Amino acid sequence: MKSFENELIEKIEEVLVNNIPNEEQFNEQFLRSRYDTLVQLLNCYVENNDLLQLLLKSGHNASFQAKLREKLHHVFTTKVFPNLKLDYEVPSDLFVILFTSLSLSLAEYANQSNKPIDIEQLAKMFFNILIHGPAKTLGLLQVDDVENKNNYF
């Protein structure tokens, strides 16, 4: 099982690392290029669906998620976050937990769906949730609501 975990984590890391923009293009292309990265990440999950389901449904689920989070934390904190000029810093541990949970949840959704899954559509949902958050993506918040956030806090 550890071998399976490592194999899938290496594939996921490869997708993420191979899609990091070069330093000159980082800020201007970072968000625009994330959609293609999400498509490739979801394709990686689909192509390795049997392996992923084995890991998620076995008693090694927690181990796999912990290892994946550790690897993603390393990739984000050493190769992505240092190149971003962030005004608001979200704790990297929290971002990695959210990113890992969302990506694995979408992969699980794709596996359990009775309908054929369009990876590009799934990537658009992933991207919208990352960019706008669940409430805005679902249409529960409008632009005015987001701008007047003091009404909620």
Residues 6+ apart with CB under 8 A from 112: none
Burial-class residue 125 by CB neighbours within 10 Å (0-12, 13-18, 19+).
Answer: middle
Q: Are 100 and 64 in contact (CB under 8 A)?
A: no
Q: Rounded to whole angstroms, how far apart are CA atoms 73 and 137?
A: 25
Q: What is the CATH number of the domain that holds 107?
A: 1.10.357
* Per-residue pLDDT, 13: 92
User: Which pTM was predicted?
Assistant: 0.76
The pLDDT of residue 88: 61
Spatial distance between the Cα atoms of 149 and 136, rounded to a whole number of angstroms: 12
The pLDDT score that the predictor gives to residue 147 is 54
Amino acid (one-letter) located at 23 = E
Q: Give 58's DSSP letter.
A: S
Name 108's Cβ contacts closer than 8 Å, sequence gap at least 6.
56
Phi, psi (rounded to 5 degrees) for 87? -85, -30
From first to last of its 153 residues, the chain has per-residue pLDDT tens of: 888 889 999 999 999 888 877 666 665 566 666 788 889 999 998 889 888 888 888 877 788 888 999 999 998 888 887 777 666 667 878 888 888 898 888 888 888 888 888 899 888 888 888 877 777 777 766 655 555 555 544
What is the reported pLDDT for 14?
A: 92
Per-residue model confidence (pLDDT) at position 31: 65
Q: How far apart are CA 24 and CA 76, in angstroms?
A: 18
Number of domains in the chain: 1
What domain range includes position 34?
2-151
Looking at residue 57, its pLDDT comes to 81
Q: Closest Cα partner for 111 from 50, 22, 36? A: 50
